[in-house]
Chains A and B, each alone.
Chain A
Amino acid sequence: MTPGLIGAPLNVAQLYLDGVCRSFDGFKAINGLSLAVEKGELRAVIGPNGAGKTTMMDIITGKTRPDEGKVVWNGDTDLTRIDEAGVARLGIGRKFQKPTVFETHSVEDNIRLALKAPRGVFPVLFDRRSAEENRRVTEYLDRIRLTHLRAETAANLSHGQKQWLEIGMLLAQEPQLLLVDEPAAGMTDAETMETAELLKSIAGERTVIVVEHDMDFVRALNCRVTVLHQGSVLAEGSLDHVSAREDVIEVYLGR
């Protein structure tokens, strides 16, 4: 255990952000952000536009380097020193706010590229498609209900289908931690609820952090909620707890 860190979080926290700061051109997008998430936890992160939710994910995944602070993974690894691919290989998967899939590849190939497997050039170059791999691809396609579009080029999918595909890619990586940025955008109400169910079913076995503006969705997740505001934590607790707080209503919910 690193000396200087107080309290229990480090022992149990799978992910621990400690006093993280990051400014862009003098603007403090993340400002002394501290957050601990336990293994297997499902956590919702809410907050107004520009609160720093996406930037927080950028920092966890090695896309953005913080100016200050640490991001501790499993109590011993400082993620701020690792590049994106390295963070992904540690078992941290991410879904972007804007759905990002490989547009010119088929739906199937999108999943195939995401499947947990060696990522080095040569093993990938000589990778032979196996029956087992096909079985796994089918399994994830079934799970996101895109099996019928298996051979379709991803560019031809609707916005919602791309969201599903990206979620499928995230699952196929079999990460220990899933960072999911606004998964419900572009989905129908029914799909939104399905997504909530899906994420709930994944949590427990894996850790899930979800950013979402849709309050029905957050309610359906029925989990601990962190409210971000101006780059740091404004409130944390159950949805009922945080949504009863004056300051949260003022900066976010009340608008």
Chain B
Amino acid sequence: MGKADRMSAIATSGAQQPTASAASDTIVSFRGVQKTYDGESLVVKNLNLDIRRGEFLTMLGPSGSGKTTSLMMLAGFEVPTHGEIMFDGQSLRNTPPHKRNIGMVFQNYALFPHMTVEENVAFPLSVRRVPKHEQKDLARKALAMVKLEGKENRHPGQLSGGQQQRVALARALVFQPKLVLMDEPLGALDKQLREHMQIEIKHIHERLGVTIVYVTHDQSEALTMSDRIAVFNDGIIQQLDSPTGLYETPQNSFVAHFIGENNILNGEVTAVDGAFCKVRLNGGTEVTARAINIKGVGSRTSLSFRPEKVLIEGINADHPNQLPARVEETIYHGDHVRVRMTVAGSEGFTVKMRFRASRPIPVPGEEMAVAFAAEDCLALDPV
């Protein structure tokens, strides 16, 4: 028994290793890439991005932010207006899409309707002139990997959306590309299936050690699956970071707002002291915040707070960052209570409070104080 287990254990850890150790090993590199369709507006503005070998990188951003365009340039279906894309150290400029050896999964699957599931999966092998029996073998293995044994002779139209997605996945992986691109592959599935497939794709990634570039507009999907996330807005990468990095220290108001829940209070910087700064809120109260993205004393800033990091109970009178608040509404969620309040004159401030039967839920109209640690209050660019 031991040997096989050891082998698979080695294989697993080996696959995970590169993400950590070989950080310098870059597989894809966008260098100053720009793209315009109409010659007037840049859909992608100066994209610089290094993708590490074996990592799961997600391009996350609202619709129209240029994610698909970036992916299509990498796949070769769009040509950069300016700049260069390197793959394995070589420019892709003169490589047509069919020679790039990049697997791709489309949102609407793009399974060939006139072929059976097996023929679909064997297609990349057959265009590579792999011998027939080997094709069959590899296609069946790939289908087994996505748990679709027994469906080989069905046509795509006879499968459910989730099953079609698995076929598309098997087809993009069967020819063992070093890089697989996925453009909102789970967008058409219902929530439960989507969450299930997220985990499954993640596991396949870990097992094969293949590099995956994944596009989505769903932040929770990105947080669940990715090693790193590039947040896109307006054709620009706003921040490239690990999921925790993005959530804990968003570098600007867009990222703070786009990832997770966020409360904003506007104010003016009155003093800067190393990593921290003093901000006077519109109501006149002064608080201490982390100086992340400010322009210096006298500039406007937006303070960002996560709802679960704001205290509304057990506050000492001498807590440094305290603000007056009035409860407007409370919503019971079982494990926690969401309290919507007006804080320092600003409405719609949400606080997440762990529910305990011993402490009564605040009632609307109740006047109280909220407090927070300076580390949990980020001074970002003004919105």
On whether the two chains bind one another, the answer is: no
